[in-house]
Amino acid sequence: MMRRALLLLALVLASLLVSCEDTDARTVVLWHAYRGDEELAIEDVAQAFERAHPGVRVELLSVPFEAYLSKLESAAPRGHGPDVFIDAHTRLGAYEETKVVAKLPSGVLDEHAYDATSIAAAAGYGVPLSTKCVALYTNTALLPEAPRALSDLEHAKLAPGDYPLAYEADVAYYHAALLSAFGGRILDDAGNYTFDSDAGVASLELLRRLSREHVIPDEPNGSLVTQLFVSGRAAAVIGGPWLRADLGTHVHYRVTSLPVVDGAGPMRPLLTVEAAMLTPRGEKSELAIDLVRFLGSRDAALTLATVGHQVVARNDAWTDPRLDGDPALVAFHEAARTAVATPTSARMQSAWVPTDEAIKKVLRGGDPRAALAESHARFDDAVKPPPPPASPTPALVLLGALLLFASWRIVKNTRISDVRASASAYRYTAHAFVVVIVLVVLPLGAGAATSLFAGTRDAPRYVGFANYVAILTARGGALLGHGSFYLTLLVTVLWTLLNVFFHVTIGVLLGVLLSRPAMKLRAAYRALLVLPWAVPSYVTALAWKGMFHRQFGAVNALLSFVGAEPISWFSKFSTALTANVTTNVWLGFPFMMVVTLGALTSIPKEVLEAAEVDGCTRAQRFFRVTLPLLRPALLPAVVLGAIWTFNMFNVVFLVSGGEPDGTTDILVSDAYRWAFTRDAQYGYAAAYAVLIFGLLWLMTRASSKIAERAS
């Protein structure tokens, strides 16, 4: 076994050495997040650039969208990563602050070739390549006439149970179009929150009516919208160019601009401009600047349009007759001309979630004015200016006192002879000590230190304990008010207790049952029961979310199969928590089962048999013999399991997403929101992390004290 392990190690090391490659000076690195046809198109353009510049290589990297921001923000400011990257203009605000992007040198951008909206959106940082906005897809078989007004859709004659219109109505990005029909906006030019207005109320009242009259389906999400349209159960859907690839040839459709809202104005969607931008490293390279210029050329635009089916931003590309053969593309280009560019300001990032929450609340029957006032307050709270700079003295004094206390304790409790006697143990632990210090303790310490800072990552400002004070005083609100630290803590504790209880009960039960000597089909059962753990959890968590859908979910289908009422899972705290816990129990019980199985193998069979001979009942045997014997192996797993569950971000984020109204959020998902959806307050999020750490520390200390006393 040792020899085999060493052989494997050698193989792994060998393959690591082979994989090193060097990049030379004639290479230019381009990052993008395109997939499918869009990726093929950008590859074509890169090849054309290579043909025009012999000896030059364009190194393309398609980065997953979810990792794009963090990857760019860690690489670009340190001179790694791309020379050129393609991204939406909406992130420019963030990129400006983190020094990811550099201004274009003069003469690169041909300003006359674009609409003013695109030029303004790219703000001197990028060459606009394409635009994205939503438009109306209509099923030509169900609606032969293209609807011009919303009422045309409402009065369409359809089979009972079918929907005139489907779109992600509870998402702010989509609702912005409805809002614009009443002349409203989410954020004004100065970055103030303007959703809380008469236009906002009117848009929400209309939405509530559409939902009540079943013009639109409940709890719509992207894949449901697509499915309804493809299966002919929705006559029209609102979607962007990205929807086309999913529709394929399953359905005959036409694309038109969004309809007019009767008695108000036309719906104007939000516009995203995708632009080629330079990083600080790319700014210094003639080749990178050439590539940006090339990407912005008319030829490149034509490739992007014909191969990638992109709505290219260059106006002179649209005179090419090849684009006339694609009416949907032309329709999207039309729609883009009336669209409103999404604000670039970093404050927009803080506006999405409160806006989503207000829309959801109204769809569940809440009062629009109250929901809007609440969303306004939450936005203002999220963008509150960072606390004033503080003197570092208190923290340094505290740190010094802690160090003194620690060294005093060490000196007091240690005898040299003991240390000498421990030398043999250190030989076993030294390498693990080094690994843990360098790779775990140092990064965590650095992470914890950011909790004393506020502001952006590259211009942090020392604020002392202000972040902690704000969290522990519930930001000046009620101590158990919405989203307060203490309320979230209670939810987190409840969440952890429920999960660990079910994990351990189910895991130990199955482990013990499967270890029965007479058990048949043991291997097959074992393999099937670890499935939840083997399939990547980000896929299965989303599958569970789909199963808990109110109208189309399998769980409600099962309920109605046995004659029960369907449940709207994510509209109440109790049911939403149930959905989260079910998913996480499903994900976690195999771990406890495998640990139990492993532990049971090292319990001598004689002990169990002796107990049987002594005439113990089954329950006695389990609780007096098996369980105490399992304890040493199970206890660390339970403690670790509890800690992991306490910090289990994925499931909460993917299944309920904090719904309803952020009540099922646990501490760590709240910390994530502060870092990524509320004005990038990394310091504040780090303070959350430190507090989570402190709480867990106290809890494990307390529980081990109790356990010691009990035994």
Partner 1 sequence: MKKLEPFFVHVIVLAFVAFALYPVLWVLSVALSGAGLASHGGVLPIPHGVTLDNARAVAGVGKPGGVALFLRQLTSSVVVSLGTAIVGVIVATPAAYALARFKFVGARAAERGLLATQMFPAVASAVPLYLVLDALHLLDTRIGLILVYASTAVPFAIFQLRGSFETIPVDLEEAAMVDGATRFQAFVRVVLPAARPAIAVTALFCFMAAWNEFILAATLLSRESAFTLPVVLQRYVGEHDAEWGPFAAGAILVSAPVMAFFYLVQKQLVAGLTAGGVKG
Residues numbered 515 to 574 that lie near partner 1 (CB under 8 A) are 515-521, 523, 525-540, 542-547, 549, 551-554, 557-558, 561
**Candidate ranges 80-88, 107-115, 471-479, 483-491; the one touching partner 1 (CB under 8 A):** 80-88
- Minimum Å distance from CB 583 to partner 1? 8
Q: How far apart are CA 588 and CA 505, in angstroms?
A: 11
Residue linked to tokens 């003197």: 391
**Which C-beta is closer to partner 1: that of 76 or that of 215?**
76
Report DSSP letters for 346-387, one per residue: THHHHHHHHHHHHHHHHHTT--HHHHHHHHHHHHHHHTPPPP
Measured between alpha carbons, how far is 208 from 211 in angstroms, rounded to an integer? 5
Q: Is 586 in the site for partner 1 (CB under 8 A)?
A: yes
Residue 697 touches partner 1, criterion: CB under 8 A: yes
| Shortest separation between residue 376's beta carbon and partner 1, angstroms | 26
Residue among 373, 397, 403, 435 that touches partner 1 (CB under 8 A): 435
Residue 367 or 612 having the CB closest to partner 1: 612
Nearer residue to partner 1 within complex by CB, 76 or 179 = 76
**CA distances (Å), origin 49, targets 39, 45, 55, 305, 572:** 15, 6, 11, 17, 55
Query: Applying CB under 8 A, which part among 202-210, 276-284, 358-366, 423-431 lies near partner 1?
Result: 423-431
**How many C-beta atoms surround the C-beta of residue 557 within 10 A?**
13
Options 136-144, 180-188, 326-334, 591-599: segment touching partner 1 (CB under 8 A):
591-599
By CB under 8 A, is residue 242 in contact with partner 1?
yes
CB count in 10 Å sphere of residue 167:
25
Residue type, 502: F
Segment near partner 1 (CB under 8 A), from 114-122, 283-291, 417-425, 656-664? 417-425
Least distance in angstroms from the C-beta of 198 to partner 1: 30
Residues 12-71 binding partner 1 (CB under 8 A) are 12, 15-16, 19-21, 33, 35-36, 60-67, 70-71
Q: Which is nearer to partner 1, 260 or 448 (CB)?
A: 448
Give yes or no for residue 622 binding partner 1 (CB under 8 A). no
- Please give the structure tokens belonging to residue 698: 């106290």
Instruction: Pick the closer one to partner 1 by CB: 90 or 297.
Output: 90
List, as one string, the DSSP characters of 144-172: SSPP-BHHHHHT----TT-EEEE--TTSH
Within 442-501, the residues that bind partner 1 by CB under 8 A are: 442-444, 446-448, 450, 457
Residues in Cβ contact with 143 at an 8 Å cutoff, skipping those fewer than 6 apart: 153, 156, 235, 236
Q: Which is nearer to partner 1, 49 or 646 (CB)?
A: 646
Can you tell me which of 215, 353, 454, 686 binds partner 1, judged by CB under 8 A?
Answer: 686
Q: Which is nearer to partner 1, 518 or 613 (CB)?
A: 518
Residue from 601, 617, 620, 703 touching partner 1 (CB under 8 A): that is: 601
Rounded Cα gap, residues 644 and 410, in angstroms = 30
User: Which listed range, 108-116, 153-161, 352-360, 582-590, lies at the site for partner 1 (CB under 8 A)?
Assistant: 582-590
Question: Counting runs of H as helices and runs of E as strands, what totals does the chain give?
Answer: 32, 12
> What are the CA-CA distances from residue 331 to residues 72, 118, 328, 502, 685 (Å)?
33, 18, 5, 53, 43
- Residue 202 CB, shortest distance to partner 1, in Å, is 27
Q: Among residues 155 and 223, whose Cβ is nearest to partner 1?
A: 223
Helix, strand, coil percentages for the chain (3-state, nearest 5):
60, 10, 30
Residue 255 as a binder of partner 1 (CB under 8 A): the answer is no
User: 23 with 58: CB under 8 angstroms?
Assistant: no
* Segment interacting with partner 1, rule: CB under 8 A, options 99-107, 290-298, 300-308, 683-691: 683-691
Shortest gap between Cβ of 439 and partner 1 (angstroms)? 4
The answer to whether 229 and 139 are in contact (CB under 8 A) is yes
> How far, in Å, CA of 343 to CA of 1, rounded?
60
CB of 689 to partner 1, least distance (A): 4
Closest to partner 1 by CB, 368 vs 511, is 511
CA dihedral 647, 651, 652, 654 (to 10 degrees): 140
Q: Which stretch binds partner 1 (CB under 8 A): 136-144, 299-307, 468-476, 583-591?
A: 583-591
Q: Which one, 1 or 116, has the nearer CB to partner 1?
A: 1
Residues numbered 643 to 682 that lie near partner 1 (CB under 8 A) are 643-644, 646-647, 649, 668, 671-672, 675
Q: Which parts of 491-510 interact with partner 1 (CB under 8 A)?
A: 506, 509-510
Q: In angstroms, give the least distance from the CB of 537 to partner 1.
A: 7
Residue 399 or 543 having the CB closest to partner 1: 543
For residues 359 and 663, give the distance between their C-alpha atoms in angstroms, rounded to a whole number: 16
CB of residue 398 vs partner 1: minimum separation in angstroms? 19
Assign 570 to helix, strand or coil: helix
What are the tokens at 345?
């300001």
> How many residues lie near partner 1 (CB under 8 A)?
156
Cis peptide before 660 (omega within 30 of 0): yes
Per-residue mark of binding to partner 1, 188-227 (x: CB under 8 A): ---------------------------------xxxx-xx
| Least distance CB 98 / partner 1 (angstroms) | 11
> 278-337: which residues touch partner 1 (CB under 8 A)?
none
Contact between residue 154 and residue 215 where contact means Cβ atoms under 8 Å apart: yes
Q: Are 360 and 352 in contact (CB under 8 A)?
A: no
Taking every pair of Cα atoms in the chain, the longest distance, rounded to a whole number of angstroms, is 94
Cβ closest to partner 1, residue 329 vs residue 689: 689
Q: Which residues contact 303 (CB under 8 A, 6 or more apart)?
A: 41, 44, 45, 48
